[in-house]
Amino acid sequence: MNENQLIEELQKHIEMVAKIGKQLGYSKITDKSKWREPIMAGKLGHQAFFKISAGKNSDKYGADAVDLKTGKMAEYKSKAIEDKEINNLLQKVKYKKTNKKYSPLTLSGVYNGAYTHEAIDRYENNDHYFGVFHDEICVLIIRPNQDEVIGQLRTEVDKRIAKGKKNKTTNLNTVRINLGDEHLYKVVWFNEEWHKQNV
């Protein structure tokens, strides 16, 4: 296929994704990686919400899905990794002579609404999940410890307050979880087939 034919093929597939999303109840599943949420929810036994944002005054604020077994709200963050980051994710050996491995992958999630302690209070009631995608395939989902997520968010707000920036931004309050720090999270789902193919 030439470039124009490939673009046409791409368009057809994206249209199909949008169409399937609507059939599932998602009005704009291709917006802001929204499509990853029902994928993660399906792996975890959750129900992803149809809207991108539940709105500040909603009881679903700060959540992307609900755990169908417990009724608890779930907030999802996701990262798309490049081929070179597979080495970090799988902790492959970098130097055979010394058996030194690649640095563990760090996952990060931006919490747009977590810019005051009052806003963070809403996130305390939710479970938090970080998903890893490679070539649009979900390969891993972790659940960071609740205390770690909330602690990192509050620390950042405290830093902003100390600098006199209490309410100047609603962006970039980021939680980072290094996969080498195994005490900070639990692996709740992983793609066995993908892992076998990439070991």
Give per-residue pLDDT as tens, 78-92.
999 999 999 999 999
Q: Is residue 110 part of a domain?
A: yes
CATH label of the domain that carries residue 126:
3.40.210
Give per-residue pLDDT as tens, 3-47.
989 989 989 998 999 999 999 998 888 888 899 999 999 999 999
User: Does 55 have pLDDT greater than 60?
Assistant: no
pTM: 0.89
Q: Is residue 93 part of a domain?
A: yes
Q: Is residue 106 part of a domain?
A: yes
> Which among 52, 67, 194, 62 has a CA at the least distance from the CA of 132?
194
If one counts the domains in the chain, the total is 1
Q: Is residue 13 part of a domain?
A: no
Q: Is residue 15 part of a domain?
A: no
Asked if 134 and 80 count as a contact pair (C-beta separation under 8 A), the reply is yes
User: Does 167 have pLDDT greater than 60?
Assistant: no
Q: Is residue 43 part of a domain?
A: no
List the alpha helices (DSSP H) in the chain: 3-24, 36-44, 86-89, 117-123, 146-162, 192-198
Q: pLDDT exceeding 70 applies to what percent of the chain?
A: 91
Q: Is residue 16 part of a domain?
A: no
Asked if 142 and 130 count as a contact pair (C-beta separation under 8 A), the reply is yes
